[in-house]
Amino acid sequence: MINLQQITIQPFPTSSTHETCLMEVSGRFFEIGKDVVHLITYLQQNGCGKENIAAYVRETDKYTEEEACGFLEMLSKKIDGDQVVSDKKKVFLTIGTCFRWIIYFA
């Protein structure tokens, strides 16, 4: 699983109409949206266990536990591996929100 304490997040102004931030982990940079920021920050402060993910889901009432766990699993693969995740299905984008998925800057 992801070591969330290694992740730093800072504002990242762009011309996009959506609020974006820059996430840095192990020298790799990702553009993320505000919902990802909220999820990562929540789990950094409260822990990344199943009970914490369930609490996040109850608090936000936006996603299911399966969606949040699926997102974290994809994030972990993207961060831990050097491979580019080729699966174009984006868990949070498919549920009709403005949840910007992580874009890797090469």
Residue 96 confidence (pLDDT): 32
Q: Which two tokens stand for residue 36?
A: 């990802």
Digit-coded pLDDT (tens) for 18-77: 888 999 988 888 888 899 999 999 999 999 899 999 999 999 998 899 999 998 888 888
Q: What is the pTM of this model?
A: 0.70
Q: Quickly count: other Cβ atoms within 10 Å of residue 90's Cβ.
A: 14
Pairwise CA distance, residues 12 & 33, whole Å: 10
Rounded to 5°, angle at Cα 40 from 49 and 50: 15
Q: Are 54 and 65 in contact (CB under 8 A)?
A: yes
What 60-63 contacts at long range (C-beta under 8 Å, 24+ apart), as own/partner pairs, is: 62/35, 62/95, 62/97, 63/92, 63/95
* Domain housing 64: 4-104
Beta bridge partners of 25: 28
Structural domains of the chain, count: 1
